[in-house]
Each structure stands twice: as C-alpha cells, then as structure tokens.
Structure 1
C-alpha cells in the first residue's frame, strides 16, 4: 500500500475500507454491534467492521480517547465477545485515533496501544500495515493471524530500558563536558564532583520531563524546550543576560519546584509551577560549595534532543512504538 492511500483512509477515519479493500480482511458476517460496555460512567458502543478466521477488527467513536487504565477495563469486558481483536477508538472530526490489541507474553495478557493525532505521528502505524495485511491466496488459521498481529504489536520492555539507559549514559558523559566551575583543573573523567553534579542535574531533568508531559509545568508539555528557546532569545545587553542554567533553571528548581508559594513576579516568568516536597530540588551540597558553577546551553540542547526521541508516560501503558518511557524505566535509571 502506498503511503498516500494510507493517509487518505486515516484522514477519513475509514477503517472498514482500509482493512477490507486494501488489507484484504473479510466483511463481518452476522450482527456487527457488540453489547454496550459501561466503564466509569462512560458507555462504549463498539462495532465489528472486519474479520479474518474469527479475529475481529472493531471500531468505536468516543468523546475522549480512553486512558491505558480504561483500555484494560474495556479488554476485560470485551473478551466475552471478542477474544482476539484490534479495536480502534476514533475522536470524531479529528485525526486523533487509538488502536489497542491484547497480547500475551509468558501467559500474561496485556493491552498494547498505538495512539496518534496527526499523519506524521501515524507514520509508525503505516510501517506495521504490511504485516497486518493478507493476499488473495492466503490460507491462514486463526493461530497464524494471532501471531501476525501479536508480532506487530508486541514490545520488548527490557530492550527499551537498555536502549534508553545506553543513550542516557552517553548524554551523561556529554553533559559533564559543559559544566564549569567544579574543580576544572581535574581531568573531566576523574572529576568525581563534576560527574556527581551531572547525575544530579540529569535526574532532575528526567523527572521534569515526566511531569511536563502531564502538563504540570504551566500546562506546557514541552515546557523545558520552550523555556530554553525563550532564554536564548532574551540574551544580550540589558536583556535576560544569563544563560539557561543560571538565568532560569536554578530558580525553577530552588524557588519554584522546591517552594510552596510563588509570587506574581515569579509566575510572570515561570508560569504555574507545582511544589514538590521530595528533596530532589533542594539546594545541593555541590551548589553550595562551588559559587562559580555554570552549565552551557549546549548541554541542554543535546539532552533535550535525546529526551524528545522518546514517549513519556506517567502510567504503565504499553505501546508498540518501542520508544516508551514510564516510571519503571525512571526507577531503573535512578538506581
């Protein structure tokens, strides 16, 4: 299938046409409407739009894309009528769709998600379409079809963690190169305090990436990136002269995330910031001991480029992207 054809079906939310006309699934036989599913005061009307050897393709129009937790509850109820399925949730008049499919790994059933809200973000799904398609002479069993779908949706969480950690270690080494004012006469790799402070900063920023994706930092899911760009725009004589670290980030950590109340002047620059009473954003021992401590903007540009390659979630959702960072990964990195 050509990408432009795929895009046309996605734009029109015509998943019946996509599966039956292009991917050669069969039209459903018999009743297509599944029994209503009621979860947390929301009713889901799920309809079968295609099938192959009993494996069902379902869709459901929703007023709000369901969360990972809701999807697990839906799966628990839907399996009475559709043990093996792909269900596509559609937010009408938008490109916001969510595909879910149950997968089994070591006898445990999980629900894997693929979510997108633009054609660019749907590119990952397009890469999987061929493995979900058939030819006219295919004579596969239901077990063959289950294997095809699970191969497309299954992820390896251990590999994701190892891949992220490998990249994280490289960023740690790179970040330390841009730190100045900590025993600069000592070779960088032997400078234990500089390496220690690189860990302190990366752990803080790693945590901030999680909370910004939940819109806890002034409602902006790209808060750190946008503020880095803003401070660089403000540099110059009689302007926001300091760099991102000294001019913005230190105050965000110590006077924002580590302080219960913020005045109007603070909020004009930083926006609405939560108070996190956990010690992570206290003034650190190294920050007390090294008055000339500074970090060049380039350190943050590189680090944010790395972080932005991943998908950040505060729940334990599984997606087929292979790029998902959740609290389990966060805990591993902190260890």
Structure 2
C-alpha cells in the first residue's frame, strides 16, 4: 500500500536506499569507481528489480558527463538502470535514458534540499511494487519494470513545446464539442471544461481522489468505454461535476460510480449556463487525446520559489488559461498567489477588526 510520508522523508534526507526499499525494490550492495576523462566517480548499486539497477553517483557532473557515465554503466554493469547523481546532500539528479530507435533520450528530475519532495514522490509512484506482484525469485519481468519506468520518468519538461501542443489540442477540442452551433460559445465552453479537467488532474496527481488513485480519470474513462461508447462526458463527467464535487457526500445520487470524492464548495463545478442551454455531446476520443497530452508532463501543486521549474504548477496553468484558452476575452485573468494572499489578508483583517469593535452581547 502506498505510504507517502516515508517516501517524502527518505527524499528529504537523501536516503535513497530507504527510498527504494519503501518502493518495494530489492537491495543491492555493490561499490565501484568509474573513470571518465581522468575524473573519478564513486558509484554504488543500491537497488534492483527485474534486471533494472539503481545506482548512486557521488558527484554532480555536467550533462555530457552524466551521459558518459550512463554509457559506461550500460556497457559494463547494467544495460537498464536509473542513476542518482548527488553531492553533499544538497542536490540530487534522477537520470534515466529512454531508448528510442537506437537513440538514448535522457530524462532527468532534479531535487534540491528544502523542497517538499512531493513532485518527485508523484513521479516515483508507478515504481511502487507490492510483494504479491513479485515472482518466486522476488522480481518482476523486465518488460514490466521498464513500462513502470516509462510511466514514472518519461516526462517532458514544461517548455514552449507544451504550450504549442496544448494550443493545437484546443483547436481540435473545440471542433469535438457538438450541440453548440455558435463558435464563440463553443470556445467558451471548451475553456470551462478544460479548466475543470486540469484542476481534477492536479487533484488526482496529489492523491486526493478515490483513496489516492492517481490514475482516476484514466480508469473512469476505461470503465465508461467498457459499458458504452462515447458516454464518458454525459454518463460520467457531468455526474462527477454536478453530483460529486458540487454536493456533500450524503446528497449524492449513485455515489458508488464516482468513488470517494471530496466535496468542493465553489462555483467551478456548478452547472454552467451553456450546459443548461445546450444539449452538449463530446466523443470519448477527445478525452483520450487530452489525457494522453496530460500524461506526458509532470504535475505539481508547488509554485513556491523552491519548486521545480520543470513542473506544471498553478502559475503555468494560469499562463495557459490566459494565453490559449483566451479567458481575457471574457474578462477573466489569472491572479498570482502573492496578490491573492494580499487581498485575502486585507479582507480577513477587516472582518476581525469589525468583530472586535462590535459591542459584547449582554
């Protein structure tokens, strides 16, 4: 069973042996040195699973040197591996190379001391293995471990590439919306729906949905398609929005279909007037494409200065809404948290002062 606090603690303490023990991997104990261009790098194998070995390297070399070390380990120690470069417990770089058409495509995640570690924990969740999944030798098939590595670490950084992909997706998504003839209204509704789905994606990646299911939307889409084709939007999403998040648990109908969902008391999941005006239909393939796009990136709720710049966080989300969903056309803007905090503090202080100045009740 996934237990987040020990994973977070192991990362914060740079105790990567404990980290992979918590993930259910087997212990490895091999110490050696590599010499790359006259530089000596102390290395240690700390864990293995299905012929994939995890090594720590006590150094923070350049990107070129990291790839050279990976190549040396591939040729002489383990073809499939994860490398953790670290130096004096202040920074760690998780390195894995995706193999594609005889090319090695490096995938990296950097952790700095002082970060919560939640972004890294979210990435490593697919690597968790339960004892019941192992064979008699305590291993998984290599192909299964590689697939888990792909899910965990084959993540593109947030760059202009993401924005371009999102903008391209948005154009197709607007076309996929049926039942709204006016294009401007259709684009407006696309922004409403994507706003909700991005927010839900954040929630699931944080483990807030259905007892920590980080694949909640994907699982529900698959369940819906087993029951009926092209019914995910009307049969599940609308129920999730208006019966799940918008109502307390005791007021929901057919709550078992949704699983354990928090009640969110706000306007985001109340019926929009476009939904009350039109009979909207959206094919399942539109959501399959959207979730495929989301899966290619890492999602984090940490937008503090110590957060990883390669994560999709609320600031990035706000930029997307303004730049591509065109919320400005409808008078909506993204407000950074510093401004929000200031406005909230002013409001709360005023309320407190007003209460303090009220005469006591006799």
Which of 215, 219, 225 is the matching residue for 1:226? 219
User: Residue deviations 1:297-318, cap 9 Å, x none?
Assistant: 1111111111111111122465
State whether structure 2 residue 300 is matched by structure 1 residue 313.
yes
Summarize the Cα distance change of 1:13–1:165 in structure 2 as closer, same or farther, 3 Å threshold.
Answer: farther
* Equivalent residue, structure 2, for 1:296: 283
Superimposed CA distance per residue, residues 256-289 of structure 1 (whole angstroms, 9 cap, x where no aligned partner): 1111234575321101111112311111011111
Q: How many angstroms does 1:16 deviate by?
A: 4.1
Residues 267 and 22 from structure 1, CA distance in 2 versus in 1: closer, same or farther, beyond 3 angstroms? farther
Q: Determine the structure 2 residue equivalent to 1:280.
A: 268
> Equivalents in 1 of 2:110, 2:162: separation in Å?
24
Shift of 1:233: 0.4
Q: Is the alpha carbon distance of 1:250 and 1:83 closer, same or farther for their aligned partners in structure 2, counting shifts above 3 Å?
A: closer
Larger RCO (CA within 8 A; separation ≥ 6): 1
Partner of 2:312: 325
Deviation for aligned residue 1:294 = 1.2
Alpha-carbon deviation of 1:293? 1.3
SS at match of 2:267: coil
1:175 aligned partner = 173
Alignment partner, residue 249 of structure 1:
237
Alignment check: 8 A CA contact 2:244 2:255 kept: no
TM-aligned CA distance change 1:200 to 1:26, over 3 Å:
closer
Are 2:249 and 2:255, in contact at CA under 8 Å, matched by a contact in 1?
A: no
The equivalent residue for 2:191 is: 199
Give the Cα separation in 1 of the matches to 2:301 and 2:234: 29
Change (3 A) 1:83 1:297: closer
Residue ranges of structure 2 left out of the alignment (5+ in a row): 1-24, 44-55, 62-85, 95-107, 128-144, 323-362
Q: Is the 8 A contact 2:202 2:299 kept in 1?
A: yes
For 1:163, the equivalent position in structure 2 comes to 161
List gaps (5 residues or longer) in structure 1: 1-9, 29-47, 54-77, 89-97, 104-108, 128-154, 237-241
Aligned partners of 1:25 and 1:51 also within 8 Å: no
The answer to whether 1:217 aligns with 2:209 is yes
Q: With the length of structure 2 as denominator, give the TM-score of the two structures.
A: 0.51
Cα displacement (A) at 1:83: 8.2
In 2, the alpha carbon distance for the partners of 1:83 and 1:294 equals: 53
**Change over 3 Å in CA distance of 1:246–1:16 after alignment to 2:** same
**CA–CA distance in 1 between the matches of 2:246 and 2:153?**
44
Superposition RMSD on alpha carbons, in Å? 4.1
* Structure 1 Cα separation of the partners of residues 274 and 152 of structure 2: 46
In 2, distance between residues paired with 1:272 and 1:126?
28
TM superposition shift of 1:196: 0.8
CA contact (8 A) 1:25 1:50 kept: no
* Within-5 A mapping of 1:31-180: 50=58, 82=88, 86=92, 102=112, 116=124, 117=127, 119-120=146-147, 160-180=158-178
- Tell me the number of residue pairs that the alignment of Structure 1 and Structure 2 aligns: 221
Q: Distance in 2 between matches of 1:12 and 1:165?
A: 41
Instruction: For residues 124-157 of structure 1, give each alpha carbon's deviation from its aligned partner in whole angstroms, at most 9, with x where no partner exists.
Output: 9999xxxxxxxxxxxxxxxxxxxxxxxxxxx9x8
**Greater helix content:** 2
Q: Give the CA deviation at 1:164.
A: 2.1
Decide whether the 8 Å contact of 2:243 with 2:253 is kept in 1: no
CA distance in 1, matches of 2:208, 2:316: 20
CA distance in 1, matches of 2:243, 2:152: 43
Alignment CA distance shift 1:119-1:21 (3 Å): farther
- Shift of the 229–21 alpha-carbon distance from structure 1 to 2, 3 Å rule, reads same
- TM-superposition CA deviations, 1:184-222 (whole Å, max 9, x none): xx5xxxx10011111111111111100011122212111
Instruction: Provide the rounded CA distance (Å) in 1 between the counterparts of 2:239 and 2:217.
Output: 13
**TM-score, structure 1 as length reference:** 0.54
